[in-house]
Amino acid sequence: MKIETCFLIVLAFVFTHTRELTQEPGHLKPFGFAKSTQTCDEVDNFPPPDVFFNEYVFKRKPLVMRNAAKLSPAFRTWTDDYFLQVEEPSNHLVSVETEKKEDRSQEVREMPFSEFVSSYNTSGIYMVNPVPPFIRQDIILPCCMQCPFIVEGKLVENIMWFSSGGTKSVVHTDSVENINCLYRGDKQFVMVDPDEYGDKVDIDHPEGSYSGVDVDSVDYTNYPGLADVEFYTINITAGDCLFIPYKWIHQVRSFGNNLAVNIWWNHFIPKDVSLESCNKDCDLQMTLRRVDFRGFDQVMESVDAIKDHVYALVSRLTDCDYNKFLNGLIGEDIKFLKDNNIPYDLLMRKMFQEMDLDEDGYIHEKELDKLEEQSWVRVQQIMEEFSSLIKDAESLDNGEFRFKDEL
Ligand SMILES: *[C@@H]1O[C@H](CO)[C@@H](O)[C@H](O)[C@H]1NC(C)=O
Ligand SMILES: *[C@@H]1O[C@H](CO)[C@@H](O)[C@H](O)[C@H]1NC(C)=O
């Protein structure tokens, strides 16, 4: 074949290829519109803990648990009337988002729970806040995770998602395991298996582990990988729960008056834990009031978690220099650090140098592969020092600082 012919063929391929993308099903349609071909296992009620962990959690497979949320008193008792007559401490506030279509730079307001309940139907506000302490007794810890290795220190956080419906989250991943139970309305989860299509979904905001793609209108010219993805589209209705494995990519929409509670727990539990120790019969008294949520800081206490986090970051960034690294790790919160004169720079440079083995000013995955365990331990310790710096500043500032990928 002559060189020119070859060139023309390549050119023709490039042209047809780019033109085809805009013709592909799903272009300028909602996220997950095309090729929702994957289906997820479904069971009725919570499975026994050994089945749940061996078949789903450890294999990182999602699971729909129909009717499982009906076990909690909340399924019957959580009406707006009940919320309005329950006694709320006078200084109690919840965080409320002001936009139903998630935008991570939107204004978040604080108000008493009762004020939220009185006004959410008409104002379009969206409560995203841990379950208020005075109603925590109404939610039973999912039976399939009533195990000492979870309850004793691995519960991270719970969140109540409450709105009049029509909310849309961004496409994102969580750095923890997640069970979401629905008490009112319908929800649709569009999910992507990160092992199969992780490299096709452009998480272009690594500091918050989310994608900037418009979930109402996916433009394949900006996000070409999405044209190839096969999605899981999972509908759940009031009474159902869904397990979303660690790092699974997901996007959530809600329909109708909507109330869900999710529980996040630490992915990093030893694989040789005894599943024998889990409750065989569900303990209906083990409610959210009786268990302890340790927050996101404790996730970063483990070296494995730090490793995972840094690898994910470095693999997403080309030419990861110090500034990109810092931005990827803490993003816009650098401003908070600067405004509060927190001396983060020296610590963060120390961490960067620990991983920049060849001292060329960039961290590469190959360098991470060569990093000795002791170096990872030091990286983890620096991370911990950094967290405590922030906590000190937070207690002074009284402001909101969180790692952006917490939600
Ligand atoms: C909000 O609307 C729902 C129906 O969608 C209704 O059941 C509920 O009582 C309303 N809440 C308030 C406080 O008006
Ligand atoms: C899932 O819910 C959405 C929104 O209500 C609906 O359009 C869709 O048809 C449902 N899919 C299935 C399989 O029920």
In the chain, domain spans? 41-295, 303-394
Q: What are phi and psi of 239, to 5 degrees?
A: 105, -15
pLDDT, one tens digit per residue, over 235-264 is 999 999 999 999 999 999 999 999 999 999
Q: What is the mean pLDDT of the chain?
A: 89
Check whether 300 has a pLDDT greater than 90: no
Choice among 115-124, 282-291, 307-316 with the minimum mean pLDDT? 307-316
The Å distance, Cα 45 to ligand 2 centre, comes to 21
Q: What is the pLDDT of residue 406?
A: 40
Check whether 405 has a pLDDT greater than 50: no
The Å distance, Cα 309 to ligand 2 centre, comes to 34
Ligand 1: does its nearest atom lie under 6 Å from the Cβ of 121?
Answer: yes
Give the sign of the dihedral formed by CA 261, CA 203, CA 233, CA 175: negative
Mean pLDDT of the region 390-407 = 51
Which of ligand 1's atoms lies nearest the C-alpha of 118?
A: 13
Q: d(Cα 402, Cα 390) in Å, to the nearest integer?
A: 9
pLDDT band per the 50, 70, 90 thresholds, residue 85: very high
Check whether 382 has a pLDDT greater than 60: yes
pLDDT band per the 50, 70, 90 thresholds, residue 18: low
Segment holding 110, helix H or strand E: strand 108-111
Residue nearest ligand 1's atom 5 by CA: 257
- Which residues face 162 on adjacent strands? 127, 259
Q: Report residue 283 CA to chain centroid gap.
A: 28
Mean pLDDT of the region 4-14 = 55
CATH of domain 41-295: 2.60.120.650
Is the pLDDT higher at 407 or at 167?
167
Which of ligand 1's atoms lies nearest the C-alpha of 121?
A: 1
pLDDT band per the 50, 70, 90 thresholds, residue 350: very high
Q: How many other C-beta atoms are found inside a 10 Å radius of the C-beta of residue 204?
A: 12
The Å distance, Cα 261 to ligand 2 centre, comes to 21
Check whether 14 has a pLDDT greater than 60: no
Question: Which residue in this structure is represented by tokens 């009406």?
Answer: 79
Check whether 401 has a pLDDT greater than 60: no
Question: Do the strands 126-129 and 94-97 form a parallel or antiparallel pair, or are they unpaired?
Answer: antiparallel
The Å distance, Cα 216 to ligand 1 centre, comes to 27
HSE-up (13 A, CA, CB side) for residue 230: 6
Q: What are phi and psi of 159, to 5 degrees?
A: -135, 135
Q: What is the pLDDT of residue 384?
A: 86
Which residues contact residue 386 at a Cβ distance below 8 angstroms, ignoring those fewer than 6 apart? 344, 347, 348, 351
pLDDT band per the 50, 70, 90 thresholds, residue 389: confident
Which of ligand 2's atoms lies nearest the C-alpha of 186?
A: 5
The Å distance, Cα 162 to ligand 1 centre, comes to 12
Check whether 364 has a pLDDT greater than 70: yes
pLDDT band per the 50, 70, 90 thresholds, residue 17: low
Q: d(Cα 342, Cα 324) in Å, to the nearest integer?
A: 19
Residue nearest ligand 2's atom 14 by CA: 235
Q: d(Cα 179, Cα 119) in Å, to the nearest integer?
A: 28
Mean pLDDT of the region 261-276 = 90
- Which residues face 126 on adjacent strands? 97
Choice among 53-62, 213-222, 309-318, 346-355 with the minimum mean pLDDT? 309-318
**What's the start-to-end Cα distance of the chain, in Å?**
55
- Which residues face 163 on adjacent strands? 258
Check whether 2 has a pLDDT greater than 70: no
Q: What is the pLDDT of residue 337?
A: 83
